[in-house]
Amino acid sequence: MDLTTPLSFIKGIGPSRAAMLQAKGLETVEDLLAYVPFRYEDRSNLKPISHLAPGEMATVVAEVRSARLSGLKRRDLGLFEARFTDSSRAILTGKWFHGGYLANVLIEGLKVALYGKVEFDTYAGELTMLHPEYEILSGAPGDDDGDAPASLHTGRVVPIYEAAGKLTTRMFRVLTHRILAELPPEEDQLPPQLVARLKLPDRSTAIRQTHFPPPESDLRLLNAFRSPAQFRLIFEEFFWLECGVALKRGKARTLPGIAFDLSARVREQIKAMLPFKPTEAQKRVLKEIAEDMNQPRPMNRLLQGDVGSGKTIVAAEAAVIAVENGYQVAVLAPTEILAAQHAFYFKQILSKIGYVTLLLTGSFSAREKSQLKKLVAEGLVQVVVGTHALLQKDVEFKRLGLAIIDEQHRFGVLQRLGMVEKGAHPDVLVMTATPIPRTLAMTLYGDLDVSVIDQLPPGRKPILTKHYTDDRVEQAYSFMKTQIDQGRQAYVVYPVIEESETQAMKAAQKMHQHLSREVFPEIPVGLMHGKLAAPEKESVMQRFKEGALKILVSTTVIEVGVDVPNATVMLIEQAERFGLSQLHQLRGRVGRGGEQSYCLLVTEKMNDAARERIRTLVESTDGFYIAEMDLKLRGPGEFFGTRQSGLPSLRVANILRDPDILEVARREAVDFIARPPSPEALRRAVAYIRDHWNRRYGLVTVG
């Protein structure tokens, strides 16, 4: 047996278990060993029931004395109650609502470990646990412990694994124990100097002690994932990841690139183009970008700034640097509306200094497209703004020097590379409004340097956010009316669940009729959705911008980038259906001028999570805080849209829980790659990363 042995070869794993394990992504011995306990119970110093105190979390080992199902007749509904007792002869009652299924599981006489919060039921005068976790310790039918000692499950610090359907925590414990008993010790891959200096346990010991902590283990450390063994595994995972990132970054730095000249002429043109005075933060990031563009290697920079912080003008400044040096600029946007918006903005400010800006999206006719492409290929156009259509093979530039990619999280890393291939190592500036912690950003975006705009343009008033339940929607409308009467404009947005733009479009159409005919018959109301043809979209947007339309009813196609400073009301229908970051983005469409702006969140049915989201938005306008809450509520996978974004699939480590270890690992990795103890050590590490980590972490180009 070795790490690559398929789990189906392990005793006790038949075809059906193997299939269930596979569904959880566990196929080999290595996979199973990486499936570490999420919690530990101390079953060596157990408190007798008579010593339990209400309010504490406790583990109890006791016997089922009696059990009953009461309440509704239907088995899956009623309340299941079991009375447990131990040598102290005191009674503890476990209660499970919808617990009918337990009637055949927790039967009289069984020995069980229970874990939960102890409560005192004053009515019955007894100690209870509501929905405790349980584990049957004896005599369960179908148990297949084989050679595993009974002491595996009790009388020690016991690992608790996340169960999944029929895969119980007990089964994981038995299988892992069996594998560890047979598996020869693994060779340690971490550089020995590092292991010695950080006093890390060797890998085999770390794996063993993470699954089966030695008797003297500190339970608090274990449950905080900070025992020496757990630390080593988490550190190791981050270390290799960061080594891969460092290698990739180092490689990018050796490529030849364009050293843009920062002449007096460049400065003059930027001055002539600027419609306003940049903020200190904008000046600082422009300086970082300019210095980077000046270097004779390709720039790979992430420009991060909350919605409305003014990233676009900084991008325009970078564009001026490129164009004045005789190069073309490509601006890639995730949606047609945003592309149109950017094209409009760039045209407006860059035509002042004589540049030609052009929009190219998929919805243009073939003839139009081929004409536009010709202009680009001949170098008659300085700035090309577009959607994915820009990535197509037949879009050729005469001399591409700078690629600007907006809202990076909408594009994959590969698309970024696709853009780069259209020039000879052009500089790349990616922009995102998703404020993520710096270390995380550097890890996620790997080879990117990061610039942050941490200041809003002057005179902005924080947006006031109000919540209305849908029975009070009329109040929200009348508030909107008072703003329109004062000369302002408003958005009304409908949720769109990715796959049902059609449905959202219908809802928006219906609402458009309702608002324009019944609620605001005297006010011009526009309609915008993803299914409109591009010219139509552009004309609706244009009329809203000019103020001919006072209200714009829309699906979430306007989520990013749309910029109409006179709009002060953002009304979001069925706000409970949006994610936090999305709501924050939508809210960012208002508050772009000097006037007080408002976000009105209208909700229908809410669950706890939705309530939490709405509360967060009403309380805060801080994009950083909101992103962190979003990350916490949804987890990193969903937050970044997993694979697409290049988010590494970590197994033992957790970016949210372990940022401190990530920091240490990053430092060590950077140091190791920069000053390896020997060429041989570096060569070994690179080979190891290539073989084991590349695919998983998407570090495609390492080595």
Binding site for ligand ADP (CB under 6 A): 276-279, 282, 305, 307-313, 433, 457, 563, 565, 592
**Which one, 278 or 561, has the nearer CB to Mg ion?**
561
**Would you give the binding string for Mg ion spanning residues 228-267, x where CB under 5 A is met?**
----------------------------------------
Give the whole-angstrom CA distance, residue 549 versus residue 532. 17
Q: With CB cut-offs between 5 and 8 Å by kind, which of ligand ADP, Mg ion, none does residue 37 bind?
A: none
Give the whole-angstrom CA distance, residue 119 versus residue 126. 8
**Which one, 26 or 404, has the nearer CB to Mg ion?**
404
Binding part of the chain for Mg ion, among 14-22, 294-302, 555-563, 565-573 by CB under 5 A, reads 555-563
**Which one, 49 or 338, has the nearer CB to Mg ion?**
338
User: In Å, how far from its chain's centre is CA 502?
Assistant: 26
Q: Supply the minimum distance, in Å, between the C-beta of residue 19 and ligand ADP.
A: 48
- Lookup result for tokens 């209660």: 95
Q: Supply the minimum distance, in Å, between the C-beta of residue 468 and Mg ion.
A: 28
**Which one, 311 or 666, has the nearer CB to ligand ADP?**
311
Q: With CB cut-offs between 5 and 8 Å by kind, which of Mg ion, ligand ADP, none does residue 247 bind?
A: none
Give the whole-angstrom CA distance, residue 21 versus residue 23. 5
Q: Supply the minimum distance, in Å, between the C-beta of residue 598 and ligand ADP.
A: 17
φ/ψ of 299, rounded to 5, equals -75, 140
* Closest listed residue to residue 319, CA positions, set 251, 412, 406: 406
Give the whole-angstrom CA distance, residue 86 versus residue 496. 55
**Which one, 117 or 284, has the nearer CB to ligand ADP?**
284
Q: How many CB atoms lie within 10 A of CB 136?
A: 19
User: What is the total count of residues that contact Mg ion (CB under 5 A)?
Assistant: 1
Q: With CB cut-offs between 5 and 8 Å by kind, which of ligand ADP, Mg ion, none does residue 592 bind?
A: ligand ADP
Binding part of the chain for Mg ion, among 63-71, 224-232, 553-561, 663-671 by CB under 5 A, reads 553-561
Q: Supply the minimum distance, in Å, between the C-beta of residue 198 and ligand ADP.
A: 41
Give the whole-angstrom CA distance, residue 119 versus residue 236. 41
CB of 90 within 8 A of CB of 48?
yes
Q: Supply the minimum distance, in Å, between the C-beta of residue 540 and ligand ADP.
A: 19
Q: Supply the minimum distance, in Å, between the C-beta of residue 631 and Mg ion.
A: 21
Strand (E) or helix (H) holding 426: none
**Which one, 116 or 588, has the nearer CB to ligand ADP?**
588
**Which one, 452 or 511, has the nearer CB to ligand ADP?**
452
Full strand arrangement of the beta sheet holding 328-332: 357-360, 383-386, 328-332, 400-406, 427-432, 300-305, 449-453
Q: With CB cut-offs between 5 and 8 Å by kind, which of ligand ADP, Mg ion, none does residue 623 bind?
A: none
Q: Would you state the structure tokens that stand for residue 631, as one six-digit string?
A: 């990350």
CB of 600 within 8 A of CB of 476?
yes
Write a three-state SS string for 43-81.
Answer: CCCCCCHHHCCCCCEEEEEEEEEEEEEECCCCCCCCEEE
How many residues does this entry show for the chain?
703
User: Max CA-CA distance within the chain?
Assistant: 90
DSSP state of 519: I
Q: Supply the minimum distance, in Å, between the C-beta of residue 618 and ligand ADP.
A: 21
Q: Would you state the structure tokens that stand for residue 312, as one six-digit string?
A: 């676009």
Q: How many CB atoms lie within 10 A of CB 618?
A: 14
User: In Å, how far from its chain's centre is CA 170?
Assistant: 32
- Lookup result for tokens 């324009």: 516
Q: Is the dihedral of CA 401, 404, 408, 412 positive or negative?
A: negative
Q: Supply the minimum distance, in Å, between the C-beta of residue 456 and ligand ADP.
A: 8
Q: With CB cut-offs between 5 and 8 Å by kind, which of ligand ADP, Mg ion, none does residue 418 bind?
A: none
**Which one, 239 or 598, has the nearer CB to ligand ADP?**
598
**Which one, 11 or 271, has the nearer CB to ligand ADP?**
271
* C-beta nearest to ligand ADP: residue: 310
What is the secondary structure of 360-380 as a DSSP string? E-TTS-HHHHHHHHHHHHTT-
* C-beta nearest to Mg ion: residue: 561
Q: Supply the minimum distance, in Å, between the C-beta of residue 187 and ligand ADP.
A: 50
Q: Which neighbouring-strand residues pair with 164?
A: 167
Give the whole-angstrom CA distance, residue 694 versus residue 687. 10
Q: Supply the minimum distance, in Å, between the C-beta of residue 498 and Mg ion.
A: 21
Give the whole-angstrom CA distance, residue 169 versus residue 187. 28
Q: Angle 203-211/169-182 helices, nearest 10 degrees?
A: 150
Strand (E) or helix (H) holding 195: helix 192-197
**Which one, 242 or 559, has the nearer CB to ligand ADP?**
559
**Which one, 404 or 601, has the nearer CB to ligand ADP?**
404
Q: Supply the minimum distance, in Å, between the C-beta of residue 555 and ligand ADP.
A: 20
Q: With CB cut-offs between 5 and 8 Å by kind, which of Mg ion, ligand ADP, none does residue 313 bind?
A: ligand ADP
Q: With CB cut-offs between 5 and 8 Å by kind, which of Mg ion, ligand ADP, none does residue 563 bind?
A: ligand ADP
Q: Supply the minimum distance, in Å, between the C-beta of residue 207 and ligand ADP.
A: 46
Strand (E) or helix (H) holding 542: helix 534-546
Under rule CB under 5 A, residue 646 binds Mg ion:
no
Give the one residue of 561, 588, 591, 636 binding Mg ion; rule: CB under 5 A: 561
**Which one, 316 or 653, has the nearer CB to ligand ADP?**
316
Q: With CB cut-offs between 5 and 8 Å by kind, which of ligand ADP, Mg ion, none does residue 648 bind?
A: none
Give the whole-angstrom CA distance, residue 15 versus residue 246. 42
Q: With CB cut-offs between 5 and 8 Å by kind, which of ligand ADP, Mg ion, none does residue 170 bind?
A: none
Binding stretches for Mg ion (CB under 5 A):
561
